[in-house]
Structure formats: C-alpha cells, structure tokens
Structure 1
Amino acid sequence: MPRQRTPKAKAEVSGAASKNAARFKGRSAPKQTRPLGEPYATMTSEQKAAWAEIQFEMPWLTSSDRVLVRLACSWVARMEKDDLGVAASSALASIMSKLGATPVDVSKVNHGGDEDDEDPSNEFFGRPH
C-alpha cells in the first residue's frame, strides 16, 4: 500500500515543503479551507479539553478533519477515565496517525527553533557546518 500524500499545509509546518520544494511545487491545497473551529456542543468537558489540546498541537488541521478529531477526542477522554484495551488503543493510534500526530510525524514538524544550533555529531558524520 503506498504512503499517503502529505497535505500541503502540514508540509509547510513541518518544513518538508521547503526541503523538497519540487515535490510540493504543483500540489495545491483546498482553496476554501476553514480552521478546525470549536468543539461540538454535545461533547463532554473531557472531550472538549482533548479537542483544545489537539487543536493546539496540530495547527494544520481544518474543518474537514472535524469528524476524525471528534472520534479521537472520544477515545482520549475514555483513556483518561479507564484503561483502554488493545483494540481501542489501536483505534486511537490509527486515528492519530491519520491526523499526522504520531511520534514520527511530530519529529518532522519544524517548531521554529534556532537555525544556528549545530548538532555536535555533525563533526563526526561529515555534515557541512
């Protein structure tokens, strides 16, 4: 199964769009996107707290992601109350992966750190200074 395409907004946040400019050059983002917005009125306070956390941690999410975010919030709220079983944990991991929130995805996001910080290992691995 081929890898899913990285949305243009996520690529811009992660720095992938600038690193591989040619890959994202012809890729267009939906023109009528709206922000993720407020949580659903029928959600519990625990689910709304999870919504706020997800919205803060994943700024690339839009209104088209609302249903998946709602589902993720349900699982996160349940996780806070109970111990999730294997199936529920797998479901939550799958949803978070689809939203781009796995540890691998998070490590790719450029958080705007100092570009001048050099990695000391560059000296040993022959990377340019």
Structure 2
Amino acid sequence: MAKPRIPRAKARATGADVAHKERFVGRNEPAGLADIGEPFDWLNDNAKKAWREIVAEVPWLNNSHRGFLAIAANIRGRMIAGEDCGVQALNLLRQCYGQMGATPADASKAGVPPGDDQEDPAEAHFRGA
C-alpha cells in the first residue's frame, strides 16, 4: 500500500515542500478547509486547554481534524486534571495523534529537523573515535 500524501500545510510547516519541491508542484489541495477554530463549547476547561496546546504543537491542523482533535483534547484534558486514564484511552489518544500527523514518527517522515544541534555523546563511540 502506498504511503499517504503529506498535506501541503504540513509540508510547509516541516519544510518538506522545500526539500521535495517536485512532489508539490501542481498539487491541488482540498478547497474550503478553514482553520481549526476554537474548541467546542461542550468540552470542559481542561479539554479546552489541551485543545489549544495541541493546536500550538501541530500547526497544520484544519477544520477537517476537529473530530480527532476533540477526542485527543478530551483525553489529554483528563490527564491535565490528574484523572486516571487507562490503556485504552491512551491508545486512542495515540491513534488520534497519528491520524492528525502529530506523532514523532510522522514528524520524522516529514523531515522535521531535530530541536537542538547538540551532538549525541554516544555518537563518538559508534564512530570509533
């Protein structure tokens, strides 16, 4: 099965559109996708806080992600409140992040540069130096 296409907004945010220009030339993105918007009114305060945190962490989200984001924000809001989240809820959170392209594995596929340029101290051992 072919690997799913990276949305243009995610490619812009991660630099993939610059690294692989040929993949994005002439690509038509779905029309009418608005920004993610504000959290749903029915979410509690912790879930709304989680919503805003996730939106800040994953800049390519749009209104088509609102359903997944609501689920993720609800579970993350429970974590913020210190409530017990079982394995099933955490697995669902992981799946939602994956569907939104927000996991470290997704970021590495998109070519996101690491946060710091420090060399790994173990690297010298692997190079034989």
Q: TM-score, normalised by structure 1?
A: 0.77
Q: Over residues 97-128 of structure 1, what are the superposed CA-to-partner deviations in whole Å (9 max), with x where a residue is unaligned?
A: 111111223453369x9xxx7x8x8xxx9xxx
Asked whether 1:96 is paired with 2:117, we answer no
Aligned residues: 118
Corresponding position of 1:59: 59
Amino acid paired to 2:72? A
> What is the identity percentage for the equivalent residue pairs of Structure 1 and Structure 2?
38
Superposed, 1:69-84 pairs within 5 Å as 69-80=69-80, 81-84=82-85
**Two-structure CA RMSD over aligned residues (Å):** 2.6
Question: How far apart are residue 30 of structure 1 and its match?
Answer: 2.0
d(CA) in 2 for partners of 1:13, 1:102: 14
Amino acid paired to 1:87? Q
Superposed, 1:26-65 pairs within 5 Å as 26-65=26-65
- Structure 1 portions without partners, runs of 5+: none
Q: Over residues 52-88 of structure 1, what are the superposed CA-to-partner deviations in whole Å (9 max), with x where a residue is unaligned?
A: 1011111111111111111111111122332322221
d(CA) in 1 for partners of 2:103, 2:64: 19
- Structure 2 portions without partners, runs of 5+: none
SS in 2 for 1:39: coil
Amino acid paired to 1:99? M
